Structure 1
Amino acid sequence: MKSNNQNEGKFGFTGYAENWNGRLAMIGFISALIVELVTGQGVLHFWGLL
């Protein structure tokens, strides 16, 4: 595991930013699955977009 270097930027295509992007994408995907399982309808229907 690479240590968090203070000189490494927090924006752009850096390892730090890509790790956070992946983590947030996983949280969003799991949240969408939970909404679908609990309500019985997709996320877009739940929000009234379809």
Structure 2
Amino acid sequence: MSDSTSRFGFVAFAETWNGRLAMLGFVIGLATELLTGQGILGQIGLG
């Protein structure tokens, strides 16, 4: 990476990827909950 722009911290690039990964995690968690019939806490033994 030869440019001088930052890829870390509160910059648009990092926030865009943070949002994408959060949406992906939410969808995976919802799909897992629908497939197993248990909530997230129940899956890890806390519920």
> Unaligned regions of 5+ residues in structure 2, if any?
none
Aligned twin of 2:41: 44
What CA distance in whole angstroms lies between the structure 2 residues aligned with 1:14 and 1:8? Answer: 9
Residue of structure 2 aligned with 1:13, choices 6, 10, 15: 10
Instruction: For structure 1, list consecutive stretches of 5 or more residues without a partner in the other structure.
Output: 1-5
Q: Distance in 2 between matches of 1:41 and 1:22?
A: 25
Scaled by the length of structure 1, the TM-score of the pair is 0.79
Moved over 4 A (4+): none
| Count of aligned pairs between the two proteins | 45
CA RMSD of aligned residues (A): 1.0
**Percent same amino acid at aligned positions?**
53
